[in-house]
A and B are shown apart, each in its own frame.
Chain A
Amino acid sequence: ILNVEQSPQSLHVQEGDSTNFTCSFPSSNFYALHWYRWETAKSPEALFVMTLNGDEKKKGRISATLNTKEGYSYLYIKGSQPEDSATYLCAFFSMDSNYQLIWGAGTKLIIKP
């Protein structure tokens, strides 16, 4: 059974501080790792799709790294702002997952002004 773990489950960060959280996934038959941001009452929004080991992607103050050999990805947010408050979800896709994205339960980030 393929399983994706995210930690921590929730996180309170002071405005202006930087933070990071983790997504762990099976390291075999890797195809892609997705990161999404989900704000309350909105649709999940794609941040990154990562496919290559060692890949690093950046979008404004948010960046992500990928280690497919050990099965983890980190998401970093630099200089947190109140609008960063959201749940951050990762999803894993493998060669033998029958078109199925396997999702973690998310990290809920709350930025304190």
Chain B
Amino acid sequence: ETGVTQSPTHLIKTRGQQVTLRCSSQSGHNTVSWYQQALGQGPQFIFQYYREEENGRGNFPPRFSGLQFPNYSSELNVNALELDDSALYLCASSLSEVGGGGETQYFGPGTRLLVL
């Protein structure tokens, strides 16, 4: 196991609602990335946080936002949920700012979100 945990494991929401997903990084990791994986596709990068600041963002609208806390746990918030937001949401932690690049990422098991 990677030591990265996510909660909840499953979630059902209705269109228009807001959701918060949580991630606890592996000890000592100061970088966390969030991904969305739709069925049959590879993970899509949402954003990355390094030492509590967002330092990279993929092609996702502003209603996707995040926070990273001093203990390096993090949250993904999605406002005004749409049906297309139904997906598996993964977080991954790594040791450095270039975590998405040359460093190994350690993934959590994901949160499966269903929007009805």
Q: Which residues of A contact B (CB under 8 A)?
A: 4, 31-32, 34, 36, 41-46, 49, 51, 89, 91, 93, 97-106
- Residues in A with CB closer than 8 Å to B92 are 44
Known: A43-B110, A89-B42, A93-B100. A101 touches B105 (CB 8 A): yes
B1 touches A105 (CB 8 A): no
Report Cα–Cα, A4/B100, bound state, in Å: 15
A99 touches B101 (CB 8 A): yes
- Residues in B with CB closer than 8 Å to A105 are 40-42
Interface residues of B in 84-110 (CB under 8 A from A): 90, 92, 97-110
Known: A99-B48, A100-B45. A32 touches B102 (CB 8 A): yes
Size band of the interface chain B makes with A: 20 to 34
**Any A CB within 8 A of the CB of B58:** yes
Interface residues of B in 18-44 (CB under 8 A from A): 33, 35, 40-44
- Residues in B with CB closer than 8 Å to A100 are 45, 48, 56, 58, 100
A-B contact sample (19 more), CB < 8 A, given A45-B107, A97-B100, A103-B35: A34-B104, A34-B105, A36-B107, A41-B109, A43-B1, A45-B2, A46-B105, A46-B106, A49-B103, A51-B102, A91-B43, A99-B56, A99-B98, A99-B101, A100-B48, A101-B45, A103-B42, A103-B43, A105-B42
A105's closest neighbor in chain B, by CB? B42
**Any A CB within 8 A of the CB of B15:** no
The 4 A-B pairs of least Cβ separation, nearest first, read A99-B56, A103-B42, A93-B101, A43-B107
Report Cα–Cα, A97/B45, bound state, in Å: 11
**Any A CB within 8 A of the CB of B17:** no
B2's closest neighbor in chain A, by CB? A43
A31 touches B107 (CB 8 A): no
